Structure 1
Amino acid sequence: MSKKIGPDGLPRRSFIEQARRAQIIEAATQVVAEAGYAHASLARIAEQADISKSVITYHFSGKDEILRLMVTRFFEQGWEYMRVRIDKEGTARGRVRAWIGSQMEFFGEHRAEFLAMSEIVTNHRAPDGSHAFADGMAEEVDGLAEILARGQREGELREFDARGVANIILRCADGVLGSWAVDGGVDLPGQTAALLDFIDHAIKKE
């Protein structure tokens, strides 16, 4: 019996296939989070998942597909968590606070996945040597810049380069997360509150 075809034109995966792929991704996440990007070999991932390496190569074309899927899924889950909270806010300042606050909250609740994602985003390269996730990072800056620019148009925020400030805000958040990644004892909620207060004072119109 042939497999059913999904809306993307590709064969639908069975429940067992989906479960196996999820198991492999979870194992890869743990390996990257604990051992680092450079040591995340298929052999280690197979050992973590308690399966043979051939099982991994049956379900995935290689490590590149696994790593990209790990990051993509984590970003999608994080954005859905953030979007609901951002959409509830009626002001630009509220949306900026919801963006950064909910992002930090989501990462804080998924430390292993965050550590793995950070390792991959920092180190993974496309075949041409460029950063594999540069486009996604640029989209993030554009999205936050759009909120800031709208706040300026509506007279809520002071004048500044919206895209430049959006990038600065996101890189500040990266700095807080980087400290927390190195030392899990860092008070992430406390640091987030301080960062949100700093951002609010920096963008609001006096």
Structure 2
Amino acid sequence: MTERARRAQIVAAAIETIADVGYPKASYRQIAARAGLSSSGLISYHFQNRSELITEVVRDVLGRFAAFVVERVDAHTTVPAQLRAFIGAQLDFLRLHRADMLTLLGIQGEAEIAASEATAYARLVESDHAALAELLREGIRLGDFREFDPEAMALFVFALRDGVLSRLRDAAPAELDTVREELTTMIDNATRSQR
């Protein structure tokens, strides 16, 4: 197995372990066992320390999350459809990649990730907010949306999404499907032009 493949295997095992037992209880021994490694020392061979492993976990999950959302948004040409796709894709990722999101939640509350990754994460959050506000602005300009403050509406959308995230551990997949539909409808009603 190549070094890159082994690192990916360890990251995937770390994600599953953290989602299962929580960040504080996720030991190298548990991660190694889940990865099928003969020794937890193999983790130390591929990652300098726990912080480097956790930083890679965050990078991996956020990268896949962003690609998942962008692909679905880019499949649409109208602003209202792009907004629905944006909201739906975020909730679909939560439902389809539950362990990833539980891991991010656990790490966010407990872990110190490398400063460069923390900065990158903060930039991603700001970039998402700016992109959504710009999409809303474009919808207003085209007359697809009513007049409202795009920055405030973007903030509300993310607050609602984060509320769903906070219930992720207890939510059944069917509940997430219902939440997806209701949230999409709510945002559609809140932004729709009255013309």
Give the shorter-chain TM-score range: 0.7 to 0.9
The structure with higher relative contact order (CA 8 Å, sep 6+) is 2
Q: Kindly provide the CA deviation profile for residues 77-129 of structure 1, in whole angstroms up to 9, marking residues without a partner as x.
A: 2222222221122222211110110121122111112211221233333578x
The answer to whether 1:134 aligns with 2:122 is yes
Percentage of matched positions with identical amino acids:
32
Q: Which residue of 1 aligns with 2:20?
A: 34
Q: Structure 1 pair 36/83, CA: closer, same or farther in 2 (3 Å)?
A: same
Q: Kindly provide the CA deviation profile for residues 37-57 of structure 1, in whole angstroms up to 9, marking residues without a partner as x.
A: 222233332333343222111
Q: Structure 1 pair 91/123, CA: closer, same or farther in 2 (3 Å)?
A: farther
- Give the length in aligned residue pairs: 191
The whole-number CA distance in structure 2 between the counterparts of 1:127 and 1:16 is 25
Aligned equivalent of 1:97, options 79, 84, 87:
84
| TM-score between both structures, scaled by the size of structure 2 | 0.86
Q: Structure 1 pair 111/59, CA: closer, same or farther in 2 (3 Å)?
A: same
The whole-number CA distance in structure 2 between the counterparts of 1:147 and 1:139 is 12
Runs of 4+ in structure 1 off by over 4 angstroms are none
1:160-171 pair list within 5 angstroms? 160-171=148-159
Q: Which residue of 1 aligns with 2:4?
A: 18
The amino acid across from 2:64 in the alignment is Q
The amino acid across from 1:114 in the alignment is M
The answer to whether 1:145 aligns with 2:133 is yes
**Which runs of no fewer than 5 residues in structure 1 stay unpaired?**
1-14
The amino acid across from 1:55 in the alignment is L
**Which runs of no fewer than 5 residues in structure 2 stay unpaired?**
none
| TM-score between both structures, scaled by the size of structure 1 | 0.82
1:1-206 pair list within 5 angstroms? 16-51=2-37, 52-125=39-112, 133-184=121-172, 187-206=175-194
Q: Which residue of 2 aligns with 1:8?
A: none
Q: Kindly provide the CA deviation profile for residues 124-153 of structure 1, in whole angstroms up to 9, marking residues without a partner as x.
A: 33578xx66333222221121111111122
The amino acid across from 1:80 in the alignment is A
The whole-number CA distance in structure 2 between the counterparts of 1:120 and 1:70 is 9
More helix by share: 2
The whole-number CA distance in structure 2 between the counterparts of 1:115 and 1:163 is 28
User: Contact (CA 8 Å) 2:74, 2:82: kept in 1 or not?
Assistant: yes
SS in 1 for 2:168: helix
